Amino acid sequence: SQKIEQNSEALNIQEGKTATLTCNYTNYSPAYLQWYRQDPGRGPVFLLLIRENEKEKRKERLKVTFDTTLKQSLFHITASQPADSATYLCVAGSSASKIIFGSGTRLSIRP
């Protein structure tokens, strides 16, 4: 079955370091991948979208990559801050089928 897996349930990073989150997909060829941030008790907030023909996308301290050979997306937060602590969701989609959510990675940035 189609599956999106985010490798780490939780990730603890020292403030100032780069946080790297992983998203792998199986039995699926997404046309795009999206990353969302979710804070406790709130709905997810859209961060970045990268298409299958794009290798990398950046937005301020955020960078996302899409490797169709490895079937993987990496999400980086550089110069991490305690305010970046949240759960990050990877979402895969294509025009033909409904989107699929990963289970999320809970990121904690310690001062």
Partner 1 sequence: KAGVTQTPRYLIKTRGQQVTLSCSPISGHRSVSWYQQTPGQGLQFLFEYFSETQRNKGNFPGRFSGRQFSNSRSEMNVSTLELGDSALYLCASSLDQSNEKLFFGSGTQLSVL
- Is position 30 an interface residue for partner 1 (rule: CB under 8 A)? no
Contact 64, 71 (CB under 8 A): no
- Is position 35 an interface residue for partner 1 (rule: CB under 8 A)? no
Shortest separation between residue 52's beta carbon and partner 1, angstroms? 13
Which is it for strands 105-110 and 10-14: parallel, antiparallel or unpaired? parallel
Give residues with Cβ within 8 angstroms of 70, minimum separation 6.
24
- Is position 102 an interface residue for partner 1 (rule: CB under 8 A)? yes
60-89 residues near partner 1, rule: CB under 8 A = 89
Q: Per the structure block, which two tokens stand in for 91?
A: 């979402």
Shortest separation between residue 50's beta carbon and partner 1, angstroms? 11
Among 55, 69, 98, 111, the residue binding partner 1 under the rule CB under 8 A is 98
Shortest separation between residue 106's beta carbon and partner 1, angstroms? 11
How far, in Å, CA of 54 to CA of 15, rounded? Answer: 29
Residues facing 20 on adjacent strands: 76
Do you know the residue count of the chain? 111
Q: Interface residues with partner 1 (CB under 8 A)?
A: 32, 34, 36, 41-46, 49, 89, 91, 93, 95, 97-104
